[in-house]
Amino acid sequence: MLSFVVSCIANLGAVFLHKLVQMGQALLMLLQAIMVQPKASSLARLIQQLYVVGVQSLIIILVSALFIGMVLGLQGFTLLSAYGSEQAVGQMVALTLVRELAPVVAALLFAGRAGSALTAEIGLMKATEQLASLEMFGIDPLHRIVAPRFWAGIISLPLLVAIFSLVGIYGGHLVAVEWLGVYSGSYWGNMQQAVDFNEDVLNGMLKALVFAFLISWIALYQGYSCLPTSQGISAATTRTVVYSSLAILGFDFILTALMFGGAV
């Protein structure tokens, strides 16, 4: 019985140490990739990755934002009209989107759309020995492959979150004002009274920046360290989505507590 308990504790310690080593490797990979002086040729690769990561995620972001804003407008109107406060639907839609839903939902969509693609692409490069070939030519794959993808993620997600917020607010306007008859002046006026640029909008952007860092880091490390087989790439892609989603939700709570926890 005692040996079983000791064995369980030892296994737990081994798992913890393994995860710690993985985190150290991921941190080293990231530092080696981004601690380099950019060259003129890096810009072309960055633009290419901004297209893949950012522009190609625009459609899903726009459509999701519009429908989420419309649902918020509808739900908000139904809920608030029970208290005779349907004129406050604008501030409810805006604060919900700018503070919480836009950063979190856009980041989850970004992890599913762009994060998984990054992992699969780098994993396939590893499986087909393209990364090893680059090293043979004396080119560091971390600088050439990982760095532009990382910076593209960092730049893209905050922009996508800003677009998400604005489109969602207009989606709410479409339902609340155009369909349900809320006075347009109240919609925008109450919103402008309630939303503060520093406290709400910039904090939402800060969340987006943290989520972009987490998603890009997780996706690139999973691709770079995956087993070079079809099953290995598949498992790494799944891990990227799962780990990114959990990291987004966990860090969202921590950031919300830090930013808005004492404001009640």
Partner 1 sequence: MNKRWLELSVGAMMVAGIAALVALALQVSGGSMSRNVGHYPVSALFENARVLAQKPR
- 104 contributes a contact to partner 1 by CB under 8 A: no
- The Cα–Cα gap between 207 and 162 comes to 12
- Name the residue nearer to partner 1 (CB basis): 12 or 58: 58
Task: Give the shortest CB-145-to-partner 1 separation in angstroms.
Answer: 18
Of 121, 120, 239, 215, the closest CA to residue 161 belongs to 215
- 51 contributes a contact to partner 1 by CB under 8 A: yes
- 166 contributes a contact to partner 1 by CB under 8 A: yes
- 63 contributes a contact to partner 1 by CB under 8 A: no
* Rounded alpha-carbon distances, angstroms, from residue 212 to 56, 104, 215: 16, 11, 5
- The Cα–Cα gap between 50 and 156 comes to 7
Among 21, 27, 28, 47, binds partner 1 (CB under 8 A): 47
Residue environment code for 219-245, b if the CB has 16+ CB neighbours within 10 A, otherwise e: bbbbbbbbeeeeeebeebbebbbebbb
- 162 contributes a contact to partner 1 by CB under 8 A: yes
Question: For every residue of 166-177, which 3-state class applies, written as one string?
Answer: HHHHHHHHHHHH
- 54 contributes a contact to partner 1 by CB under 8 A: yes
- 208 contributes a contact to partner 1 by CB under 8 A: no
- Name the residue nearer to partner 1 (CB basis): 72 or 169: 169
> How many Cβ atoms are within 10 Å of 128's Cβ, its own excluded?
11
- Name the residue nearer to partner 1 (CB basis): 90 or 123: 90
Using CB under 8 A as the criterion, which residues of the chain lie in contact with partner 1 when the complex forms? Answer: 47-48, 50-51, 54-55, 58, 87, 94, 98, 156, 158-160, 162-163, 165-167, 169, 186, 188-193, 195-201, 205
